Structure 1
Amino acid sequence: MQSTVFRSFVLLSCTFLGLICGTLYLYSSYSPQLALRLHYLATGSSSIALCGSLGTAVVGPLAGVVVDRNGYSAALFIGGVSIVLGYLLLKWQYDAPYSNLPFSCFDLFLVGCGSTFINSLCLKCCAVTFPSIRGVATSLPLALYGLSAMFYSVVASVFYAGDTLGFLYFLIVSLIIIFLICCPAIVQCDKRRFSKRQRTEVVEMTTFGPEPVDPLELQMHGVHHNSEISGMKLLRTPRFWLLFIITGALASLGQMYIYSVGYMVKALVIFSYELPPDVLENVHAIDILVQNQQQLQVSLLSVTNCVGRLAAGIVGDIVNKNLRKPRSWLLFLPSFGLILTQVMALNISHYEQLGPTSILTGFFYGFTFCIMPIIVGDVFGMENFSQNWGLVSLAPVAPSFYFTNLFGKVYDLRSSTGESGYTSCLLGGGCYDLVFKLSLGVGILSLLAVAMFNFGERYVASLNLYERRRSSVSVK
């Protein structure tokens, strides 16, 4: 039995490793400055963000296989090297400056890949180390994942205002320090894990099998609990595809807002400014205000993202353990919430109105990304959890790419270049409103998918029961 002190140290290490994983969300706070330095349009800047998201998604299944089969240490090494290398290349490119969009995309792709490797090992490590409080344990590293952008945004605004290069240097050094401090506990946890597997198969099944479920819980949860499912059997399961659709829809709405809010701020600040933005003496004042507002929105998104992840873990355990209900019922909350945020975004006319939308978007996005992997473990078991969650986490790739890329294209089409060479969009919310009209439809689709996941199989089962009873009556 692992000592309480060691388990606590493992939990702390996984929690602070979440700080490394979440730096990808920081991109929107410096993306306009990076684009200006390297002469990228909004579409190009959006493509860089998309490649970061692509990295987090496409390596999900591979990271899952590495964690499930090779342990935590290998994933930790791959993830740490990828993240640090990605930021080193980005810093070099900014410093040179070396304007090459595919290269910039590759930089953030590496960061995204590394984030997924470390996040996968943290989730699995916490879930199997604390099986009785799985929701709370996994919510802690996920919470710092969400809080990471806020932490670094505050540092940037206080110590590196207007110094993007200096901030990137600080970011790299801090990531290396956190990695080196947290590494020993994860490696030791790996050694203890494989030592137990060699001693007895019973311990292995206890450690990596699904959490015991009593008969009452099975009765209350019905179809929402299952035995270990993975591989091709998983792909033939309707519940997998419903979770895939829900994850893709909800995550893409959050990611589009997170990666595009920097340009939303810029459009609304210029629209709210009393003087023409292309006058040279106004450009500097506008840029300062834009950067301040960008830092504010990123901080709001980060804090509420963290709160949403903590809330999902705590409420999920309460619903599951105390109320004896499936955690999947909680998916209605982010579905309704993200529909609301799309409506709010359509009605923003001033940059000071962005705050409530950022707060709610961060909360519901964080809630989604904490509760969803726990639901995957509940429904499909923990033995192949990392692989299964890796497959589900592929869902946001296509919709996130579409919406974020569409945002950049719409913004560029509605922008113009003044006599001073300053490119801007003067339409305020009109610079991007088309995107939120389309994303509102995706939010409604997610709500329908959540309803089908929670009630669809029960409805079909009740119909089958009704038909059997009807047939038996007719025979009599």
Structure 2
Amino acid sequence: MASSSRSQSRPASGRSTTNNNDGQPLIGKLDYHPGGRPLLHAEHDHDQGGRASSEHSYAGSFFSDIAEGIASEQRHKINKQVIRYFSFAWAILMCLGAGSLTAYSLYAPLFQRRLHYTQLQVNGVSIASELAMYLPVPLFGLLCDRAGPGIPSLLAGCLFGSGYLVAAFAYKSGPPPSAGGDGWPYWVMVLAFIPIGCATSCMYMSAVTTCAKNFGRGKYKGLAVALPIACVGLSGMWQSQVGSHLLYERRPDGTKGDVDVHRFFLFLGCFLLSTGAVGFFALRVVDEEELIDDALGELEASGLLEDSEYFQHRAPTDNNGAAGSGYGTVATGDRRLSAEGVDEMDKSAEEHRAWLQEQERKKTWLLNEETRRFLSDHTLWWLAAGFLLVTGPGEAFVNNLGTIIGTLYPPATSATPADDQSNTTTAAAHVSIFAITSTLARILAGTVTDLLAPTSSPHQHRRRHAPDSMANSQLSALHEPQLPPPLPPPRRRLEVSRMTFMLAFSLLTSLGQVTLASGVLQNRGHLFWLVSASTGAGYGAVFSLTPIIVSVVWGVENFGTNWGVLSSVPALGATAWGLVYSGVYQWAAARDSAGVVAGGGEDRKADVLCYGVMCYAPTFWAMAGSVWIACGLWIWAWRGPGGWKRRGIAV
């Protein structure tokens, strides 16, 4: 027989056959034969038929299940990576459009010339958008943390579309009645820019929060946060170029004129509405549950959960050692939908609902605790004050760039109308210079600091500053075996703190402000790029490094709320410096036109426009002093008593 011949042809293994008490043979290790032979067979089958058992071997099925499990896990990892990087790519695209307000200088002079707004009214529109952009940021950050980034993205798209639509038709209607026209009232334009400001911060926060949470614990967290922020600066550059070279008015002789503001606003509204709508589906945070679990584990290890309501109300473990509703693994029992009955299905569904509720409660508690600890940290307020004093002048500069350039040249006369005056430099060119240098500084700051900044632990802010940490370490020493100290991480050749970069770029900003305030650029507009480049570089670097420092010092689990709270403070600076610049400008314009008899068209224009050093010099001297004060506050938060350096937090 085939079975007998195969048994005889195989060499003897030298093993003995043993029987159990029932007389049945015991299966040894060598009874397994590859190739599909059955693992179990009765000897009487050979005696009766002399043929092998037809039972299926489970060996192939066992290894097949392992291979299928590995393949499934690999597919799951690949899917997560695809979602992570697609979300990152769409966040970049959203940020390329979100900073549309940085192109405000492109059409601000047309508000004066076409709508006859005063400089104070032009700044009023800008201030309204600035306040709407910064004040709701904590709410948008909270929404990103609690509901995910998709909903804020859709909300931003709707706000952009409605705001730019109203602004387009308000501009097309002509000068308001207060300026002698029959167009829509001035307050309609102000009202239109409020949702535009809200949409700017909402879209920005949804994109940056997605990138920070998906890549914030990796090696290149600085670059992952800096790139979307850099793209916000690029918005003004490409949008101003599109407006100047594609969406422009034609003069009677057929040559290219100023930007067609009506069409420009319609283009921005449609583009940003569609971008935000797609972002509702594209923006996803990967492995957020893992972030929450790791953070809770660190908090418990540091002792911060001992006195918390969450820690005290954790459900006791059952007989199997699994927590009923505490954080960690929830006991779910046998989750198979077997044929044993509906009771097992109901039990499984109930356990899953309990697990989901526990996950939500865990996340809510952690985010509330992180917010409380963030707001109670005194170094936050030094960082925020410096951020306000640096970004406020930068915001005022970019919003008034067009009118600042106008003060460098003699005013237009009847022989040389403003529309036909050939200037050696334009607002669109300097918006692009500001955007390019700001973008390069953001990318450079994020990339270089990733390479040179001191190595930081993901949870260093909890381990270093936890209450009762000494007591916890003593208890651990008594109850846990002593382990050898970890090897120190290898030191790199050069380590430069992110604070060093931020201070250097801030001083570069003040250098440009001092250059302009000194008056050396008056009637030398071709050198104005020095101010635009230095201000753009400093502004961009500070806006890039500050959220990176927030993620390093306070973690990424609550990044949306933390960065939202901090990024709301520039609203005060932008408002204050916008009012200061407008006040100085109006004062200088009134002084220059004091000898002109009011009443004619030329006199009306003289009352509105200003020319000369005194239009801007006092403002920019004060701006430079503001930046120097900010540098001192940052040094105090970094190296002062209770600062990051003394806590052992590597920034």
TM range, smaller chain: 0.7 to 0.9
What's the TM-score, normalizing by structure 1? 0.83
> In the alignment, is the contact (CA less than 8 A) between 1:38 and 1:94 conserved in 2?
yes
Is 1:238–2:378 an aligned residue pair?
yes
Alignment of 1:398-409 (within 5 A): 398-409=572-583
RCO higher in structure (CA 8 A, sep ≥6) = 1
- Seen in structure 2, the aligned counterparts of structure 1 residues 233 and 33 have a Cα distance that, compared at 3 Å, is same
Instruction: Tell me the alpha carbon deviations over residues 392-446 of structure 1, each in whole angstroms, 9 at most, x when there is no partner.
Output: 1122122221111111122122224785343354542221211112112211101
> In the alignment, is the contact (CA less than 8 A) between 2:247 and 2:264 conserved in 1?
yes
> In the alignment, is the contact (CA less than 8 A) between 1:128 and 1:208 conserved in 2?
no
Match of 1:70 among 141, 147, 155: 147
Alignment of 1:217-228 (within 5 A): none
Is 1:24–2:198 an aligned residue pair?
no
> In the alignment, is the contact (CA less than 8 A) between 1:373 and 1:389 conserved in 2?
yes
2:156: which partner in 1?
79
- Seen in structure 2, the aligned counterparts of structure 1 residues 81 and 459 have a Cα distance that, compared at 3 Å, is closer
Match of 2:564 among 378, 390, 413: 390
Alpha-carbon distance between aligned partners in 1 of 2:208 and 2:629, rounded to the nearest angstrom: 28
Alignment of 1:107-126 (within 5 A): 107-126=192-211
1:315 is displaced (CA, Å) by 1.9
1:31 is displaced (CA, Å) by 0.8
Instruction: Tell me the alpha carbon deviations over residues 166-208 of structure 1, each in whole angstroms, 9 at most, x when there is no partner.
Output: 222222233234345544321xx25xx5xx66xxx54643599
1:284: which partner in 2?
419
2:166: which partner in 1?
89
Deviates more, 1:256-265 or 1:228-237: 228-237
> In the alignment, is the contact (CA less than 8 A) between 2:98 and 2:272 conserved in 1?
no
Alpha-carbon distance between aligned partners in 2 of 1:168 and 1:209, rounded to the nearest angstrom: 50
1:76 is displaced (CA, Å) by 0.8
Alpha-carbon distance between aligned partners in 2 of 1:426 and 1:407, rounded to the nearest angstrom: 12
1:100 is displaced (CA, Å) by 3.0
RMSD: 2.6
Alpha-carbon distance between aligned partners in 1 of 2:210 and 2:577, rounded to the nearest angstrom: 33
Alignment of 1:23-422 (within 5 A): 23-97=100-174, 98-130=183-215, 131-132=217-218, 133-161=220-248, 162=258, 163-186=260-283, 189=284, 193=286, 202=290, 204-206=292-294, 230-270=370-410, 277-286=412-421, 289=423, 293-320=426-453, 321=455, 326-347=497-518, 348-349=521-522, 350-415=524-589, 416=593, 419=600, 420=602, 421-422=604-605
> In the alignment, is the contact (CA less than 8 A) between 1:278 and 1:422 conserved in 2?
no
1:451 is displaced (CA, Å) by 1.4
2:82: which partner in 1?
5
Instruction: Tell me the alpha carbon deviations over residues 208-252 of structure 1, each in whole angstroms, 9 at most, x when there is no partner.
Output: 999xxxxxxxxxxxxxxxx98643433332111011111101111
Q: Look up the equivalent residue of 1:332 and give its one-letter code.
A: L
5+ long unaligned stretches in structure 1 = 211-226, 272-276, 463-476
- Secondary structure at 2:99's aligned position in 1? helix
Q: Look up the equivalent residue of 1:75 and give its one-letter code.
A: P
Q: Look up the equivalent residue of 1:439 and give its one-letter code.
A: M
Alpha-carbon distance between aligned partners in 2 of 1:77 and 1:406, rounded to the nearest angstrom: 36
1:306 is displaced (CA, Å) by 1.1
Instruction: Tell me the alpha carbon deviations over residues 434-466 of structure 1, each in whole angstroms, 9 at most, x when there is no partner.
Output: 11121122111011112112211378998xxxx
- Seen in structure 2, the aligned counterparts of structure 1 residues 449 and 203 have a Cα distance that, compared at 3 Å, is closer
- Secondary structure at 2:506's aligned position in 1? helix
Q: How many residues align structurally?
A: 430
Q: Look up the equivalent residue of 1:265 and give its one-letter code.
A: I
Alpha-carbon distance between aligned partners in 2 of 1:344 and 1:335, rounded to the nearest angstrom: 15
Larger Rg: 1 or 2? Answer: 2
Alpha-carbon distance between aligned partners in 1 of 2:439 and 2:570, rounded to the nearest angstrom: 20
Q: Look up the equivalent residue of 1:244 and give its one-letter code.
A: A
**Bigger fraction of residues in helix:** 1
2:639: which partner in 1?
455
Alpha-carbon distance between aligned partners in 1 of 2:155 and 2:165, rounded to the nearest angstrom: 15
- Seen in structure 2, the aligned counterparts of structure 1 residues 422 and 455 have a Cα distance that, compared at 3 Å, is same
Instruction: Tell me the alpha carbon deviations over residues 97-153 of structure 1, each in whole angstroms, 9 at most, x when there is no partner.
Output: 344333322222211111111111111111121231211111111111000001011
Alpha-carbon distance between aligned partners in 2 of 1:208 and 1:160, rounded to the nearest angstrom: 53
2:476: which partner in 1?
none
- Secondary structure at 2:583's aligned position in 1? helix
Alpha-carbon distance between aligned partners in 2 of 1:233 and 1:317, rounded to the nearest angstrom: 26
Deviates more, 1:388-397 or 1:254-263: 388-397
Is 1:442–2:577 an aligned residue pair?
no
> In the alignment, is the contact (CA less than 8 A) between 1:126 and 1:138 conserved in 2?
yes
- Seen in structure 2, the aligned counterparts of structure 1 residues 230 and 35 have a Cα distance that, compared at 3 Å, is farther
Q: Look up the equivalent residue of 1:278 and give its one-letter code.
A: T
Alpha-carbon distance between aligned partners in 1 of 2:296 and 2:265, rounded to the nearest angstrom: 39
> In the alignment, is the contact (CA less than 8 A) between 1:270 and 1:425 conserved in 2?
no
> In the alignment, is the contact (CA less than 8 A) between 1:343 and 1:440 conserved in 2?
yes
Deviates more, 1:92-101 or 1:401-410: 92-101
Alpha-carbon distance between aligned partners in 2 of 1:104 and 1:117, rounded to the nearest angstrom: 21
Alpha-carbon distance between aligned partners in 2 of 1:328 and 1:281, rounded to the nearest angstrom: 50
- Seen in structure 2, the aligned counterparts of structure 1 residues 458 and 239 have a Cα distance that, compared at 3 Å, is closer
5+ long unaligned stretches in structure 2 = 1-76, 175-182, 249-257, 299-365, 456-491, 647-651
> In the alignment, is the contact (CA less than 8 A) between 1:16 and 1:182 conserved in 2?
no
What's the TM-score, normalizing by structure 2? 0.62
1:52 is displaced (CA, Å) by 1.5
2:341: which partner in 1?
none
Alpha-carbon distance between aligned partners in 2 of 1:378 and 1:36, rounded to the nearest angstrom: 47
Alpha-carbon distance between aligned partners in 1 of 2:420 and 2:616, rounded to the nearest angstrom: 23
1:470: which partner in 2?
none
- Secondary structure at 1:285's aligned position in 2? coil
> In the alignment, is the contact (CA less than 8 A) between 1:48 and 1:104 conserved in 2?
yes
Q: Percent identity?
A: 23
> In the alignment, is the contact (CA less than 8 A) between 2:139 and 2:564 conserved in 1?
yes
Alpha-carbon distance between aligned partners in 1 of 2:244 and 2:276, rounded to the nearest angstrom: 24
1:70 is displaced (CA, Å) by 0.8
Alpha-carbon distance between aligned partners in 2 of 1:459 and 1:93, rounded to the nearest angstrom: 50
Q: Look up the equivalent residue of 1:36 and give its one-letter code.
A: R
1:278 is displaced (CA, Å) by 2.9
Deviates more, 1:250-259 or 1:337-346: 337-346
- Seen in structure 2, the aligned counterparts of structure 1 residues 337 and 182 have a Cα distance that, compared at 3 Å, is same
Deviates more, 1:52-61 or 1:167-176: 167-176
